[in-house]
């Protein structure tokens, strides 16, 4: 009897377990479905950047677009890729069959019905009139031992910025002439095939701007020239040394230059350079190690790598108000790579790295800018002047969290007032101005900023 009862009880337990398992199956399946869907949502939320598989493990040097759907990417290992569907499929154009024989495509530009590809020495400059299907070596006058760091097209003229100076062509690349008057380019550049010399060029209306790197014989800085009579003249950012000059870009009449001490804007003759660093990773203890620019409409993108005494960082930032405020772009997918090229279209932002290329929809970036604008500083910030030491002028930048009565004054080391630069009420935000030394003697000077309850002081060195 006892054994019979135990068998019955055991049978009931088995039936109950089976029923419980049958009831649990739908719940378990629902859990699995939810988990999969949740994982997919997380991946989609953080996978805004799409890796372009055809470019994995390639070092990207240059990217341009000819419209929202056609993109050209130059890389090492004889790679020039073209996509006509917004980056979904790609064709390699750098082959001996179509005439483009080069190891590295350093720069690309479109203008006058042609696409121009600047290569490393001894390749030279190539051009294509059929959207990249075939290429010919550029015409006479352009030295074959040059490294072309940037190009621009303006008013029917193609300009190439190279390690040996600036060259111009008025006949779509058939012939070239050197436009180096005033740049003090020396013969040593003829043997330098790394990105140096003129590292960038931009055109605003009928005016050209170039960034010249530093060398042991000549200061660098930004130079300007009229297109109709090219004679380059320096217009600032010529600290000593100036190897920390990285990139140049323009929006309307505003010229932006990236330096080791931050980003500066020049808005026209006589205005001087103004700092544009609100929201960027720059302060007295940090400096930029590299920077890339790209623009689309009124958006300016900047890729920045920066370093301080104890840390190193990098990121992509965007501004829609000419640098008054910057917002960091989600670059989680790119966290392990350094950017080497960047371009924006009306649809996508493309980023080239040392290990391939990526893209992200511009709509995602614009949404990020609108939702997450950087906040104004909690107090008063006075940045270190740039350049420092300086001669004959330097730029002083500061930020205000609220509208305040501001006094900005210069003193010598004995406490004597040298000059009052500002004495007025100013609005919250970023401010900058240029201080000219005039007839002041060499030495250390103090710049004092007073705003509301804050007082900030920096040391400046005048070295003539």
| Cα(83)–Cα(13) distance, integer angstroms | 66
400 and 355 inside one domain: no
Q: What is the pLDDT of residues 382-393, one digit of tens each?
A: 888 877 888 888
- Rounded CA gap, 134 and 114, in Å? 11
Picking from 326, 348, 371, the residue at the C-terminal end of a domain is 371
State whether the Cα torsion 25-31-35-38 is positive or negative: positive
Does residue 206 form part of some domain?
A: yes
Least reliable range by pLDDT among 194-198, 273-277, 455-459: 194-198
- pLDDT computed for residue 1 by the predictor: 43
Reading the block at residue 366, the tokens are 């614009």
Retrieve residue 201's tokens: 């060029």
- Provide the CATH number for the domain around residue 366: 2.130.10.10
Domain that holds residue 187: 50-371
| CATH number assigned to the domain comprising residue 416 | 2.60.40.3080
Residue 276 lies in a domain: yes
pLDDT (tens digit, 9 = 90+) per residue, 104-137?
A: 888 888 877 888 887 775 667 888 999 999 998 8
Mean pLDDT of 430-444: 86
Same domain, yes or no: 142 and 82 = yes
Give kind and range of the element (H or E) at residue 17: helix 2-46
pLDDT at 241 over 90: no
Please say whether the beta carbons of 146 and 164 come within 8 A.
Answer: yes
Cα Rg for the chain, rounded, in angstroms?
29
376 part of a folded domain: no
15 and 72 assigned to the same domain: no
Strand partners, 319: 300
* Claim to verify: residue 133 and residue 156 sit in the same structural domain: yes
In contact, 77 and 355? CB cutoff 8 Å: no
d(CA 360, CA 347): 9
In 10 A of CB 75, how many CB atoms? 24
Residues 158 and 103 in one domain: yes
Q: Are residues 116 and 180 in the same domain?
A: yes
Q: What is the pLDDT of residue 379?
A: 66
Same domain (yes/no): 353, 444 = no
357 and 213 co-located in one domain? yes
* Residue 366 and residue 428 in one domain: no
358 and 285 belong to one structural domain: yes
- Does residue 144 fall inside a structural domain? yes
Average pLDDT estimate for 340-353: 87
Q: Is 127 within 8 Å of 113 (Cβ atoms)?
A: no
| Position 391 in a domain | yes
Total number of domains constituting the chain: 3
Q: Which of 23-32, 140-149, 372-381 has the lowest mean pLDDT?
A: 23-32
Q: Which of 348, 371, 394 is the last residue of a domain?
A: 371
User: Which residue, 347, 371, 395, sits at the end of a domain?
Assistant: 371
| Residues 267 and 230 placed together within one structural domain of the fold | yes
> Quick check: helix, strand or coil at residue 125?
strand
Examine the domain organization and report whether 257 and 328 are in the same domain.
yes
Token pair for 125: 């400059």
**Which region among 31-40, 64-73, 114-123, 379-388 has the lowest average model confidence (pLDDT)?**
31-40
Exposed e or buried b per residue across 325-354, where buried means at least 16 C-beta atoms within 10 angstroms of its C-beta = bbbbbbbebbeebebbbbbbbebbbbbbbe
């Amino acid at each position: 009897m006892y054994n019979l009862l135990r068998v019955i009880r055991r049978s009931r337990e088995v039936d109950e377990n089976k029923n419980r398992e049958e009831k649990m199956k739908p719940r378990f399946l629902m859990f699995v479905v939810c988990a999969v869907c949740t994982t997919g949502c997380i991946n989609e939320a953080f996978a805004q950047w799409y890796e372009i598989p055809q470019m994995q493990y390639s070092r990207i040097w240059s990217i341009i677009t000819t419209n929202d759907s056609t993109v050209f990417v130059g890389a090492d290992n004889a790679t020039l890729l073209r996509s006509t569907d917004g980056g979904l499929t790609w064709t390699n154009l750098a082959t001996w069959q179509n005439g483009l024989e080069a190891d590295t495509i350093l720069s690309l530009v479109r203008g006058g019905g042609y696409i121009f590809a600047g290569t490393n020495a001894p390749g030279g400059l190539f051009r294509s009139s059929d959207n990249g299907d075939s290429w010919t070596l550029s015409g006479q006058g352009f030295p074959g031992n040059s490294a072309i760091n940037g190009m621009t097209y303006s008013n029917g003229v193609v300009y190439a910025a190279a390690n040996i100076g600036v060259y111009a062509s008025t006949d779509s690349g058939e012939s070239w002439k050197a436009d180096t008057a005033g740049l003090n380019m020396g013969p040593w550049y003829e043997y330098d095939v790394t990105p140096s010399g003129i590292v960038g060029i931009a055109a605003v209306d009928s005016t050209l701007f170039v960034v010249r790197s530093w060398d042991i014989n000549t200061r660098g800085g930004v130079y300007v020239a009229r297109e109709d009579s090219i004679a380059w003249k320096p217009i600032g950012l010529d600290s000593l040394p100036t190897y920390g000059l990285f990139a140049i870009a323009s929006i309307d009449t505003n010229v932006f230059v990236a330096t080791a001490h931050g980003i500066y804007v020049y808005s026209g003759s006589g205005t001087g350079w103004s700092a544009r660093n609100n929201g960027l990773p720059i302060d007295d203890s940090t400096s930029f190690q590299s920077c890339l620019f790209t623009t689309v409409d009124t958006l300016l993108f900047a890729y920045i790598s920066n370093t301080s005494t104890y840390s190193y960082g990098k990121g992509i930032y965007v501004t829609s108000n000419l640098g008054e405020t910057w917002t960091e772009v989600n670059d989680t997918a790119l966290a392990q790579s350094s950017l080497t090229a960047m371009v924006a279209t009306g649809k996508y932002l493309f980023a080239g790295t040392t290990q391939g290329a990526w893209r992200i929809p511009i709509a995602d970036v614009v949404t990020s800018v609108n939702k997450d604008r950087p906040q104004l500083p909690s107090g008063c910030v006075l940045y270190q002047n740039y350049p420092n030491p300086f001669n004959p002028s330097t730029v002083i930048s500061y930020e205000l969290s609220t509208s305040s009565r501001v006094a900005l004054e210069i003193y010598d080391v004995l406490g004597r007032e040298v000059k009052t630069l500002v004495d007025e009420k100013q609005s919250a935000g970023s401010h900058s101005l240029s201080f000219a030394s005039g007839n002041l003697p060499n030495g250390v000077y103090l710049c004092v900023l007073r705003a509301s309850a804050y007082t900030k002081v920096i040391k400046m060195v005048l070295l003539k």
